[in-house]
C-alpha cells in the first residue's frame, strides 16, 4: 500500500489516580514496567511499524516525559503538545492536532497497549473514506468497558454504556482520524472526546470500526498494571 508518512498522536496526560497505591509522582504513561516507562512499549510498536512523527499530548508533569524521551525515539521525531490546564480528552486531542501534518493520522492512548495492525487499519480507513475508524477488541465476561455495535459494512451503529457483559466489542482506544475532525472546536477549548464526539457521531455517519484479536492491556487499575509487568516484556522480546 502506498501511504503518506505515518504520523500519530499519543495521549500521555493521564494522572493515574487509580494507580496511586502502586505508582505515584509520575504521569500514568510513565509508570515503570520492567525498569522502563510503560510509554516505551506503545512508542516502540509505532517505531517498528515505520511511523516517522509522533505528537505527544501531555499535561500533568509533562517535563518527566519530555526529559526521558526527548525529541527522537527509534527514528521517530517526537513533538509535544502541552496543556497548561486540563482540557479534557477532546481538548487535548484538538490542541495536538494543531501540531500534526498528515491528513489522516493515528491516535492512541499512552496508558494502554493494543497490538493492532495499524497499517491494515489505515487501509480500511481510507477504503471507507472514513472520518474516524475505531480499533475494537472482542472481550468476554467484563463490566469495566462500554461496548460498540457494528453494522454489516463495519459502520459504527452505537456506543453502549458500561454494564456487565458476557461478551462484546470494546473500544480499544486506537483510532485513525481525519486531521480536520475536530475543527468545529477552537484550539484550547475544553470538551470530552468520548461524550461530545464519539457518542453522537454514529448519527452523523463517517465512523467505522475494525476488529482485532490482538493483545490488549490497560494499566488503569493496579491488577492490570501488575499483569502488564509480566506480559509486556515477554511480548516485546521478539
| Range list of β-strands (E), 76-234 | 76-82, 104-109, 112-114, 132-142, 147-150, 156-160, 165-178, 207-211, 216-218
Q: What is the pLDDT of residue 76?
A: 97
- Identify whether 118 is part of a domain: yes
Give mean pLDDT, residues 17-39. Answer: 79
Q: How does residue 16 score in pLDDT terms, banded at 50, 70 and 90?
A: low
- Identify whether 2 is part of a domain: no
Distance CA 112, CA 41 (A): 9
Residue 145 has pLDDT above 80, yes or no: yes
- Identify whether 150 is part of a domain: yes
Q: Are 191 and 91 in contact (CB under 8 A)?
A: yes
Q: Are 212 and 118 in contact (CB under 8 A)?
A: no
Q: What is the pLDDT of residue 17?
A: 57
Distance CA 75, CA 29 (A): 20
* DSSP symbols for 35-85: TEETTHHHHHHHHHTT--EEEEEE-TTHHHHHHHHTTEETTEEEEEEE-SS
Structural domain harbouring 85: 7-235
Distance CA 29, CA 111 (A): 5
Average pLDDT, the chain: 92
Q: How does residue 18 score in pLDDT terms, banded at 50, 70 and 90?
A: low
Residue 25 has pLDDT above 90, yes or no: no
Q: How does residue 23 score in pLDDT terms, banded at 50, 70 and 90?
A: low
Residue 1 has pLDDT above 60, yes or no: no
Distance CA 68, CA 64 (A): 6
Distance CA 157, CA 208 (A): 9
Split into its structural domains, the chain has a count of 1
- Identify whether 164 is part of a domain: yes
| Range list of β-strands (E), 115-181 | 132-142, 147-150, 156-160, 165-178
Residue 125 has pLDDT above 60, yes or no: yes
Nearest to 21 by CA among 222, 220, 229, 228: 222
Q: Are 30 and 65 in contact (CB under 8 A)?
A: yes
- Identify whether 45 is part of a domain: yes
Residue 221 has pLDDT above 70, yes or no: yes
Q: What is the CATH number for 211?
A: 3.90.550.10
The percentage of the chain sitting over the pLDDT mark of 70, rounded to a whole number, equals 93
Amino acid at each position: 500500500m502506498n501511504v503518506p508518512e505515518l504520523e500519530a498522536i499519543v495521549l500521555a496526560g493521564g494522572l493515574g489516580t487509580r494507580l496511586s497505591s502502586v505508582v505515584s509522582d509520575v504521569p500514568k504513561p510513565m509508570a515503570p514496567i520492567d525498569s522502563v516507562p510503560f510509554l516505551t512499549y506503545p512508542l516502540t510498536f509505532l517505531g517498528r511499524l515505520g511511523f516517522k512523527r509522533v505528537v505527544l499530548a501531555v499535561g500533568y508533569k509533562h517535563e518527566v516525559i519530555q526529559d526521558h524521551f526527548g525529541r527522537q525515539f527509534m527514528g521517530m521525531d517526537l513533538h509535544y503538545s502541552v496543556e497548561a490546564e486540563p482540557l479534557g480528552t477532546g481538548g487535548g486531542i484538538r490542541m495536538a492536532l494543531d501540531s500534526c501534518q498528515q491528513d489522516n493520522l493515528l491516535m492512541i492512548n499512552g496508558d494502554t497497549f493494543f497490538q493492532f495492525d495499524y497499517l491494515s487499519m489505515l487501509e480500511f480507513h481510507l477504503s471507507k473514506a472514513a472520518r474516524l475508524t475505531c480499533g475494537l477488541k472482542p472481550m468476554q465476561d467484563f463490566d469495566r468497558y462500554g461496548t460498540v455495535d457494528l453494522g454489516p459494512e463495519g459502520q459504527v451503529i452505537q456506543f453502549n454504556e458500561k454494564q456487565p457483559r458476557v461478551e462484546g466489542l470494546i473500544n480499544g482506544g486506537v483510532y485513525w482520524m481525519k486531521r480536520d475532525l475536530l475543527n468545529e472546536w477552537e484550539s484550547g477549548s475544553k470538551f470530552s472526546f468520548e461524550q461530545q464526539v464519539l457518542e453522537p457521531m454514529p448519527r452523523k455517519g463517517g465512523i467505522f470500526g475494525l476488529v482485532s484479536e490482538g493483545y490488549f492491556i490497560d494499566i488503569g487499575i493496579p491488577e492490570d498494571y501488575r499483569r502488564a509487568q509480566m506480559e509486556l516484556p515477554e511480548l516485546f522480546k521478539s
